[in-house]
C-alpha cells in the first residue's frame, strides 16, 4: 500500500520509511505527491496539528495521507516546548536551542522529559486513523551524538546513559516515540485494510 507523508521534514521521512517499509507500506513524500505547501499548525495538541497536516495534504492529493506531529516535553518548562518544539527553535540552530534547554533544566531539580508523537491518517472517504507514541527520558548535561535530528543530542532515553543522537536510526526507531506511534498506526491500518477488503 502507498501512503503520502504530509511533512516537509526530511529526517522524519527517512525514519518513517524505515519503520513502515518492512511492513509493506510505501511512504511517498508530500513533494513527490505534488504538494509544496506547509499547513499552518494552529492546533493546541499534537493530534490536532497532525490532523491539520494530514487533511490539508489529503485535500490536495485525493490520496491517503498520514502526518506526524511531535515534540519534546520538558518538566522544568511546564511540558514545553511541546507542540511549539519546531517554533521554539525558530531560526536558531538546534545546538543553540538545546543549550538553552540544558541551562533551564540545570537550574531546576527535575531533568525529566519525553518525546511525544501523534499520527493521524486521512483517507479519501473521510475515514481517519490515529495513534500515539511516547518515550520517557531525561535532559542530559551535554550535547552529544551525531545521529537523529532536532533535540536528540540532549535527550537521554530512560534506561540509557547516552543521548538519543548516539543511537543509529534503527536503534532509535526501535524505542522512539515515532517508532511506537507508527507501529501502532501500522497495526490499525492493517486491520482497517482487512475490513475494507472483506466482501459483504
Residue with cell 531560526: 91
Interface with ligand ITT (CB under 6 A), residue from 3, 33, 58, 70: 70
3-state helix, strand, coil in the chain (%, to 5): 45, 25, 35
Question: Which one of residues 58, 64, 71, 157 is an interface residue with ligand ITT (CB under 6 A)?
Answer: 71
Distance CA 85, CA 49 (A): 12
- Assess whether the previous peptide bond of 49 is cis (omega < 30° from 0): no
Residue 138 sits in the site that holds ligand ITT (CB under 6 A):
no
User: Please, which residue, 59 or 193, has the CB nearer to ligand ITT?
Assistant: 59
Q: Pattern 87-106, binding to ligand ITT, x per CB under 6 A? A: --x-----------------
Q: Give the integer Cα–Cα distance in Å for 23 and 37.
A: 28
CB under 6 A: which stretch of 19-27, 98-106, 147-155, 188-196 binds ligand ITT? Answer: 147-155
Pairwise CA distance, residues 114 & 198, whole Å: 39
List, in sequence order, every residue forming a beta bridge with 78; answer none if it has no partner.
none
Binds ligand ITT (CB under 6 A): choice among 7, 138, 163, 173: 7
| Collapsed DSSP state (helix, strand, coil) of residue 121 | strand
Say whether residue 140 binds ligand ITT (CB under 6 A). Answer: no
CA atoms within 13 A of residue 96's CA, in its CB half-sphere? 6
Stretch that binds ligand ITT, among 1-9, 100-108, 122-130, 179-187 (CB under 6 A): 1-9
Size of the site for ligand ITT (CB under 6 A): 22
Q: Which residue from 152, 167, 185, 186 is in contact with ligand ITT, where contact means CB under 6 A? A: 152
d(CA 133, CA 50): 13
Q: How many residues does the chain have?
A: 200
By C-beta, is 58 or 148 nearer to ligand ITT? Answer: 148
163 in contact with ligand ITT (CB under 6 A)? no
Q: Is 69 part of the annotated catalytic residue set?
A: yes
Catalytic residue selected from 11, 68, 69, 127: 69
Residue 173, C-beta contacts closer than 8 angstroms, at least 6 positions apart: 15, 18, 19, 179
33 binds ligand ITT (CB under 6 A): no
Annotated active-site positions, please?
Answer: 69
Binding interface with ligand ITT (CB under 6 A): 7-9, 12, 41, 53, 68-72, 85-86, 89, 115, 148-152, 176, 178
Amino acid at each position: 500500500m502507498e501512503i503520502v507523508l504530509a511533512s516537509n521534514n526530511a529526517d522524519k521521512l527517512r525514519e518513517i520509511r524505515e519503520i513502515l517499509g518492512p511492513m509493506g507500506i510505501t511512504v511517498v513524500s508530500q513533494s513527490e505527491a505534488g504538494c509544496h505547501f506547509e499547513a499552518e499548525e494552529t492546533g493546541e495538541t499534537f493530534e490536532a496539528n497532525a490532523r491539520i497536516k494530514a487533511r490539508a495534504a489529503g485535500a490536495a492529493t485525493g490520496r491517503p495521507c498520514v502526518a506526524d506531529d511531535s515534540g519534546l516535553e520538558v518538566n522544568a518548562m511546564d511540558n514545553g516546548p511541546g507542540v511549539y518544539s519546531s517554533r521554539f527553535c525558530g531560526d536558531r540552530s538546534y545546538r543553540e536551542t538545546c543549550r538553552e534547554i540544558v541551562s533551564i533544566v540545570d537550574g531546576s531539580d527535575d531533568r525529566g522529559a519525553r518525546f511525544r508523537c501523534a499520527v493521524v491518517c486521512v483517507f479519501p472517504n473521510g475515514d481517519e486513523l490515529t495513534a500515539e507514541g511516547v518515550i520517557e527520558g531525561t535532559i542530559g548535561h551535554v550535547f552529544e551524538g551525531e545521529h537523529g535530528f532536532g533535540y536528540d543530542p540532549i535527550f537521554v532515553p530512560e534506561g540509557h546513559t547516552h543521548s538519543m543522537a548516539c543511537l543509529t536510526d534503527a536503534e532509535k526507531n526501535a524505542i522512539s516515540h515515532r517508532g511506537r506511534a507508527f507501529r501502532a498506526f501500522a497495526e490499525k491500518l492493517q486491520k482497517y485494510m482487512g475490513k475494507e477488503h472483506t466482501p459483504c
